[in-house]
Amino acid sequence: MVKRVGLFGGTFNPIHVGHLRVAEEVKNGFDLDCIYFIPAALPPHKDTTGLVDAQDRKEMIDLAIASNPGFEISDVEIRRQGRSYTIDTVTAFQGGKQENTAYYLIIGMDQFFEIVTWKAYEALFEAIPLIVMTRPQEPESDPSKRFDTMLEHARLHVDKGYQARPDEMCLVHDTKQPIYMFEVTPLAISSSKIRALARQQNSIKYLVTDTVEAYILSKDLYSHDT
Ligand code: ATP
């Protein structure tokens, strides 16, 4: 039996219920055995203002996923330190000792449109199938138009050999791994929104789990920008 594993990287500053819910939907939709949440040590493409310590972000993930046996955490990027490149993480998982495991890389659509700025992105498209989750702030709300936009983007910026399989919401290629578009419940929740609320001393209740809320309050994590 092949084990099916999702790799879900992010800054998780902090992890919120949007992350948890969409991961749950992907897990069910793709029949994955588990999903690894992988906090970046240092995100290469993000402003690091307000970025709390990696250990705190890891602790919050531990708290948030504690009740879900299908969710795991990997500190591979934290241990590697420095800028966290997804290609290195994928290589680490695929080169590990887990045999008979099929890996999937899970990203939000906002990230998909930036992926060509990532280190060795061409190698990434060859190495691992992508699951691209929709996100509410995208300019296009019609799913089929969104799919066309993804296809156009992949052909223009990655390789013109991508073909559409609209029935499966999938882009296929002769030599590269498939790219799936996956509709998730639109949850207009982001870590930046949560940090802004916390900075203004506003409630973050129900945007994060109770355990994460308690952790943020007890350590006074986002009340000032650092
Ligand atoms: P920030 O607001 O600080 O940019 P974020 O909320 O986007 O953070 P990240 O840790 O950067 O959180 O997200 C990790 C991954 O989860 C990214 O691929 C992102 O696109 C995706 N993601 C985050 N929130 C959602 C959401 N509400 N719906 C779908 N995907 C999401």
139 has pLDDT over 70: no
Domains and CATH numbers, the chain: 3-219 (3.40.50.620)
Mean pLDDT, to the nearest integer, of 152-180? 96
Q: Model confidence over 20-31: pLDDT tens digits?
A: 999 999 999 999
Of 82, 70, 158, 176, the C-alpha closest to 118 is: 158
Mutate to test the pocket of ligand 1, among 7, 8, 11, 46 (most ligand atoms within 8 A of CB): 11
Identity of the residue numbered 16: H
71 has pLDDT over 70: yes
* 44 or 118, which is more confident: 118
Mean pLDDT of the chain: 93
Q: What is the pLDDT of residue 202?
A: 96
Q: What is the pLDDT of residue 37?
A: 98
Give, in order, the Cα–Cα distances in Å from 226 to each of 7, 128, 203: 29, 36, 20
Ligand 1 interacting residues, C-beta cut-off 6 A? 10-13, 18-19, 22, 107-108, 110-111, 133, 135, 184, 187, 189-192
170 has pLDDT over 70: yes
What is the Rg, in whole angstroms, of the alpha carbon atoms belonging to the chain? 17
140 has pLDDT over 80: no
Q: What is the pLDDT of residue 225?
A: 61
* d(CA 215, ligand 1 centre) in Å: 20
* 143 or 87, which is more confident: 87
Q: What is the pLDDT of residue 176?
A: 97
* d(CA 174, ligand 1 centre) in Å: 30
**Which residues 6+ apart lie within 8 Å of 98 measured at CB?**
3, 5
